[in-house]
Structure 1
């Protein structure tokens, strides 16, 4: 079942030091040509793989709001003529605080966008400068205010911890300031050093000072404690929502369901095949103009891989996985197949089974990757 679509806008007005997503500087880029190629890819894909009725759309980047209001209007208007959007429940666009102008917000609202994900990362100006962000704490407040005035009642803020030179106290301050804004959702991720980033190069040269591991653990524990105190419910390792405001689109990924992926460098999962699109914008446009899907690679997901993905993605959710339901879905007795792993992890206090759901314990949340590894390379094809 395919009820979700991800749309990638690769343009940025600046490049953050930690970001490894497919992106390019906006200046001198063929933005209008890219939008037309993106729409053409949607059309070709829909003709080739008929969708179920879409329920969620997520427009990410890059920086979607690097587009002008006119370009956003072109994109959204044509999307409505190509994609089956009559029953959309959640339509999210990532927003940079510096480019959340009223005109752009009005266009998004006009075409059915009902959720905004605002990239904040920190409310500490020294940290924002250190990670290459150009916005200020005040601009976040302004972005939230403008979004509310434009009629958006579902806002999410993205935060980061484990940043270079970040103290526990600085992150606590960021959590509190984010909660004080009265938003409906918070995502908070620990910094991961990825290749092809400024931070990767600095680390390789020994010029990147990261907080000690115990501080990062404390930051995560404070995150869980303080979001709960402010009325947020943790529903995934890194995500916290006011009741009923969980991200429906991201749950598609964690439930290991299929989804469309449109745009340069985007990933999709359709008809049991995962694909990655060509990344460089000119090559992506060229491929689409030749009337072929712009795939860089494709991979048919085996039944074993589907089961592994369902386990480690599903265990990211705080309510865990229903092994009986997954056993029916994949026609395999997962209780039996993973008996030894479940027994060992349960005895170590990392997993617990409650009301038919297998889920991470509090200790398991801190060692989640170690737990996930136990469900890989176990089953035979």
Structure 2
């Protein structure tokens, strides 16, 4: 079932291409915006100005790296059941935590869902403990156990005609992990580069040179390092990171099933191939309150569109023979890029 972004009326054909075509495969060269300008038939300075404007409008979160989960630091999806009368208070406490990069209200007894990223597992546990202490709400932590599709790109063409196959969904190779503590085992200088990359590139003619000056490397070294990380899979994709809400994909549901352990990998790989699915992975159950282990996200312009897409794929794959739930997002309290390394970590680099 296709999903379609409802783009701003003022967005012209060039603006659409700038949003859609460089969500991945961003030019890793000294003047990347000049290369993009050549492709769209515009001037370099106009492309840079357009990206600045798209960022100011909230359509672009950043231009930069989406790091692969479990390859860098520690991260987990987490949730809590906030008393309805305290939801905004609890959400505010979660949001102000720097380690939280997504924080959503969803339709469920567990009504607040957030993603925690940290330099190590110990730091992640410290963040969770602080939230529990300050809110009085028990947190369930659902680490990623197997990924079937995690890309965070959105094809904006009607019906998703240009959508790429999920190459990662067809892979049977195990996903590499960090060190035994879930921390970053990269050399100090590379950790410093990751720290500088977390917020995205500066939108100027030679962004990699600016990045290099911040971390004490040459421009060529920075580009080569990023290219290597893309090849190795440490960076899932490098490019324009768009905001789906602002692009009209306002309805999203986290669809979950309790699948027998012997079946979940096969079903997950099949589910990840579906055009409607934007994320798909296996996470740890937390019994007795959370029995589900197979997750996928479906985005659409309206609730009915998402429900229709879910019903279609569930019927074809026979998913609903397993216990299941659908958790629509109600409110977005926070959405930023993941920050695995904070200032405290980088101070020792």
Normalising by structure 1, we get a TM-score of 0.22
The higher relative CO (CA closer than 8 Å, separation ≥ 6) is in 2
Structure number with larger C-alpha Rg: 1
Normalising by structure 2, we get a TM-score of 0.23
- The structure whose residues are more often helix, as a share, is 1
